[in-house]
Amino acid sequence: MLDDKQLLRNYTLRRHVSGLWPPAPGPGAKRPVTGTWINVATVLCGGLLGLLCGSRFPDKMRQTVMAGLGLVTCVVGLQMALQTTNILIVLGSLLAGGIIGELLDLDGRVARAARRLEDRFAGQESEGKFARAWVTTSLLFCVGPLTFTGAIQDGLTGDYHLLATKAMLDGFAALAFGSALGAGVLASAATVLVYQGGLSLGAGALKAALTAAMIGEMSATGGILVLGLGLGLLELKAIRVANFLPALVIAPAVVAALAAFSQ
């Protein structure tokens, strides 16, 4: 399975060789959230197809699909986590972020918000399944260098090629998760819109503020969270992953602090 860095390299090669799809934006055609809208559309389409297909699957097949998704999610998380250049930064960020998340009860807040959505839109879902689908797919679709780099590129230049590539991958993932986890996958489209669209709209400030090292450690920390999701999908360990979300902010802040002290 290709990681985000390999996708970036393949994307660059493809642009030099073909430059055929999607068409490069012309002069004056800058639309900083085009890639995000494409991504939202593929997540919704994939999730809806997954819901339609999943209802036709017997329970054993759903369990097998869930196990496959859990295994691949663990591998993706490991690939991201191993990109760190200083595991102590990741460890410290996770511990501090987990403490903050527990104090704020982020996992409980997410679960309550998901329950309200579940009561309104997915009354037939089993209890807690909607929340797990929402959190799992939101993190998978929003954590990683491809998300950040693509959103910044889209925001600064209007070039949405990277996000279009990511959108295709997310669409297939949404199809698989929709068939196994249900309607909560559709809610992750809103997360993609808010997070990824926000990155594109604030691209100028973010590019000036975040270095490659900061993005790398943030992605590695996110990989640990994705690994936690995989363990949950495999039903090996129930981890309150949402409580670790502050770690994604702490990791780049630690890198910046260390860089400032080293000067």
What DSSP letter does each residue of 114-182 carry, written as one string? HHHHHHHH-TTSPTTHHHHHHHHHHHHHH-SHHHHHHHHHHHHH---HHHHHHHHHHHHHHHHHHHHH-
User: Residue 6 domain-assigned?
Assistant: no
* Alpha carbon distances (Å) from 202 to 34, 127, 153, 215: 14, 37, 11, 15
Q: Is the pLDDT of residue 11 over 60?
A: no
| Weakest-pLDDT range from 55-64, 161-170, 192-201, 234-243 | 55-64
pLDDT for the residue 128: 67
User: Residue 126 domain-assigned?
Assistant: yes
How long is the chain? 263
CA distance 66 to 89: 32
pLDDT for the residue 122: 55
Question: Once rounded to an integer, what is the mean pLDDT over residues 165-182?
Answer: 88
Question: Once rounded to an integer, what is the mean pLDDT over residues 137-142?
Answer: 89
Overall domain count for the chain: 1
Residue 21 gets which letter from DSSP? S
pLDDT for the residue 124: 52
User: Residue 13 domain-assigned?
Assistant: no
| Weakest-pLDDT range from 3-12, 60-69, 100-109 | 3-12
pLDDT for the residue 217: 93
C-alpha 72 chain-centroid distance = 14
CA distance 180 to 232: 14
Q: Over pLDDT 90: what percentage of the chain?
A: 35
Q: Is the pLDDT of residue 105 over 90?
A: yes
Query: How many of the other CB atoms lie within 10 Å of CB of 29?
Result: 10
CA distance 13 to 18: 9
pLDDT, tens digit, 9 for 90 and up, residues 16-56: 444 444 444 444 445 668 999 999 999 999 999 998 887 77
Question: Once rounded to an integer, what is the mean pLDDT over residues 254-259?
Answer: 94
User: Residue 88 domain-assigned?
Assistant: yes
Q: What's the domain range around 44?
A: 31-262
Q: Is the pLDDT of residue 142 over 70?
A: yes
User: Residue 21 domain-assigned?
Assistant: no
Residue 32 gets which letter from DSSP? T
